[in-house]
């Protein structure tokens, strides 16, 4: 068989604002691959099926001089994110043709994965035993779902009757956090940036759901959150009473919302920080970011702010996650939404939509059929 096109999405230039398709990223068709004869060197040949498009990708579109927790993309090389692929050929002793692989995928149609990638955990064989589409394994049953599950289990210290405030509650991480909080018996306040997402948050159990573009976050928290209880200066509250009203705050956004949450937090609140697309991280690159004004509140209210990287909790919760979450998603006990765009050439467009908050659900690019 003659070599065939092996499409790639390349990192072409460091953006100064939003990543522009065709400038920041380009779809390249100059590369070819001989899928029948390409050397495997003990590895496997994978056909990429689906790719996850996530907010953090913007943070990797930077120069090497700018340090962060993740490596920058390399100019002239493919982008990368979590994906699922199918094994077309195998020289690996334990991985069979037809097996499905999950993990970090370069944005390329066909890739040769080395044995070291499986040994390191960058890639793993996964099995769908509950009938979910493979796209879900890069969403609610993949890294975004793991982000929600691992950190909620590890850091929320949730107790029945407490109040949780979840930002970007209509997204893949936030929506699962809402449902985990409800399963733990919490009252949930949730925000998102569109009326469609507000309706979705209500449908999955949020007690209070609002569009932060139309409604003041501070006013909602003052009315619905623990600040109403704590704000009565003449009320004597014991330590045990304070514990009952402690709140958890899950932040995917940052900026003004984080400031409002600090003011609206109770004594001893736990802030779980998994990203700041409107505050200090992706938006720092896109629009310059927003300073946090109310950090002194952390001292006065004894607030715990916990940042985390999902991969650092994989060893502790990975097996539990796969044994629990996919079957709950398949049964409908946990709900999810997806926005699937077909074609590897659309990656740049989808990245921009995610950065601008225009996606209506978990963004996935479908590269090929199984």
Q: Which residue has the tokens 């398949």?
A: 330
Given a cut of 60, whether residue 275 has pLDDT beyond it is: no
Given a cut of 80, whether residue 230 has pLDDT beyond it is: no
Nearest Cα residue to 261 out of 229, 209, 297: 297
Q: Could you tell me the strand order of the sheet in which 208-211 lies?
A: 208-211, 187-192, 163-166, 247-251, 270-273, 304-307
Across residues 310-329, what is the average pLDDT? 95
Given a cut of 70, whether residue 221 has pLDDT beyond it is: yes
Across residues 27-41, what is the average pLDDT? 97
What proportion of the chain, given as a percentage, has pLDDT over 90? 64
**Which comes out higher in pLDDT, residue 83 or 157?**
83
Distance CA 22, CA 351 (A): 12
Given a cut of 90, whether residue 331 has pLDDT beyond it is: yes
Cα–Cα distances in angstroms (integers) from residue 326 to residues 192, 313, 360, in the given order: 25, 18, 22
**Contact partners, residue 252, CB within 8 Å, separation at least 6:** 55, 167, 168, 171, 173, 174, 274, 275, 276, 277
- Secondary element (H or E) of residue 18: none
What residue spans of 58-186 are helical by DSSP H?
115-120, 143-155, 172-183
Distance CA 260, CA 220 (A): 10
Given a cut of 60, whether residue 254 has pLDDT beyond it is: no
Nearest Cα residue to 170 out of 361, 333, 363: 361
Cα torsion through 187, 189, 190, 193, rounded to 10:
160
pLDDT of residue 250: 43
pLDDT of residue 259: 84
Tokens, residue 191: 């925000």
pLDDT of residue 273: 78
Pairing label, strands 80-90, 100-106: antiparallel
| Model confidence band, residue 292 (pLDDT cutoffs 50, 70, 90) | confident
Given a cut of 70, whether residue 25 has pLDDT beyond it is: yes
Distance CA 276, CA 240 (A): 32
| Model confidence band, residue 357 (pLDDT cutoffs 50, 70, 90) | confident
Q: What is the pLDDT of residues 42-94, one digit of tens each?
A: 999 999 999 999 988 999 999 999 888 789 999 999 999 999 999 999 999 99
Nearest Cα residue to 368 out of 57, 131, 212, 135: 135
Given a cut of 90, whether residue 140 has pLDDT beyond it is: yes
SS3 236: coil
Q: Do 260 and 278 meet the contact criterion of CB atoms below 8 Å apart?
A: no
Average pLDDT of every residue of the chain? 86
Say which DSSP state 114 is in.
P
Range in 58-67, 214-223, 285-294, 351-360 the model is least confident about: 285-294
Given a cut of 70, whether residue 234 has pLDDT beyond it is: no
Range in 16-20, 118-122, 131-135, 254-258 the model is least confident about: 254-258
Write down the pTM of the prediction. 0.85
pLDDT of residue 227: 32
Distance CA 248, CA 266 (A): 9
Number of helices (H) and strands (E) in the chain: give both, helices first: 12, 17
Distance CA 253, CA 282 (A): 10
pLDDT of residue 285: 52
Distance CA 225, CA 362 (A): 28
pLDDT of residue 281: 41
Range in 144-148, 165-169, 208-212, 228-232 the model is least confident about: 228-232
2 CB-contact burial (10 Å; exposed 0-12 / middle 13-18 / buried 19+): exposed
Highest-scoring range by mean pLDDT, 218-222, 238-242, 341-345: 341-345
| Model confidence band, residue 226 (pLDDT cutoffs 50, 70, 90) | low
pLDDT of residue 350: 98
Measured CA angle at 166 (ends 360, 51), to 5 deg:
40
Distance CA 326, CA 141 (A): 6
Cα torsion through 210, 170, 296, 56, rounded to 10:
-150
Pairing label, strands 163-166, 123-126: unpaired
Across residues 121-145, what is the average pLDDT? 96
Given a cut of 50, whether residue 284 has pLDDT beyond it is: no
Given a cut of 60, whether residue 98 has pLDDT beyond it is: yes
pLDDT of residue 20: 96
In Å, the largest CA–CA distance within the chain is 82
| Model confidence band, residue 289 (pLDDT cutoffs 50, 70, 90) | low
**Dihedral pair phi/psi, residue 214, rounded to 5°:** -115, -20
3-class DSSP string for 208-223 = EEEECCCCCHHHHHHH
Given a cut of 60, whether residue 276 has pLDDT beyond it is: no
Across residues 109-136, what is the average pLDDT? 97
pLDDT of residue 330: 98
Tokens, residue 184: 């733990």
């Amino acid at each position: 068989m003659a070599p065939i096109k092996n499409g790639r999405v390349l990192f072409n230039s460091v953006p100064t604002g939003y990543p522009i398709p065709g400038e920041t990223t380009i779809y390249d068709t100059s590369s070819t691959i001989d899928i029948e004869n390409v050397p495997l060197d003990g590895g496997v040949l994978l056909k990429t099926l689906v790719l996850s498009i996530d907010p953090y990708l913007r943070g990797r579109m930077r120069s090497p001089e700018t340090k962060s927790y993740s490596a920058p993309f390399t100019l002239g090389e493919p982008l990368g994110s979590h994906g699922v692929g199918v094994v077309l050929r195998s020289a690996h002793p334990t991985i069979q043709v037809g097996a499905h692989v999950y993990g970090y995928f370069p944005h390329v149609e066909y890739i040769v994965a080395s044995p070291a990638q499986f040994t390191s955990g960058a890639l793993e064989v996964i099995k769908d035993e509950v009938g979910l589409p493979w796209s879900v394994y890069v969403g609610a049953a993949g890294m975004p779902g793991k982000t929600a599950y691992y950190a909620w289990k590890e850091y929320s210290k949730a107790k029945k009757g407490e109040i949780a405030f979840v930002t970007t509650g209509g997204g893949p991480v936030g929506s699962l956090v809402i449902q985990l909080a409800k399963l733990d018996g919490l009252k949930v306040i949730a925000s998102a940036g569109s009326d469609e997402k507000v309706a979705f948050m209500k449908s999955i159990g949020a007690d209070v759901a609002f569009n932060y573009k139309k409604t003041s976050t501070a006013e909602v928290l003052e009315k619905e959150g623990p600040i109403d209880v704590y704000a009565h200066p003449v009320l004597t509250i014991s330590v045990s009473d304070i514990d009952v009203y402690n709140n958890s705050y899950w932040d995917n956004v940052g900026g003004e919302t984080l400031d409002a949450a600090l003011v609206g937090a109770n004594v001893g609140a736990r802030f779980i920080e998994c990203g700041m697309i409107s505050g200090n991280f992706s938006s720092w690159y896109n629009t310059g970011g927003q300073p946090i004004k109310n950090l002194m509140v952390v001292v006065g209210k004894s607030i715990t702010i916990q940042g985390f990287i999902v991969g650092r909790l994989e060893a502790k919760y990975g097996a539990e996650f796969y044994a629990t979450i996919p079957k709950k998603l398949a049964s409908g006990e946990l709900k999810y939404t997806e926005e699937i765009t077909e074609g590897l050439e659309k990656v740049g467009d989808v990245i921009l939509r995610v950065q601008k908050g225009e996606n209506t659900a978990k963004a996935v690019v479908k590269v090929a059929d199984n």
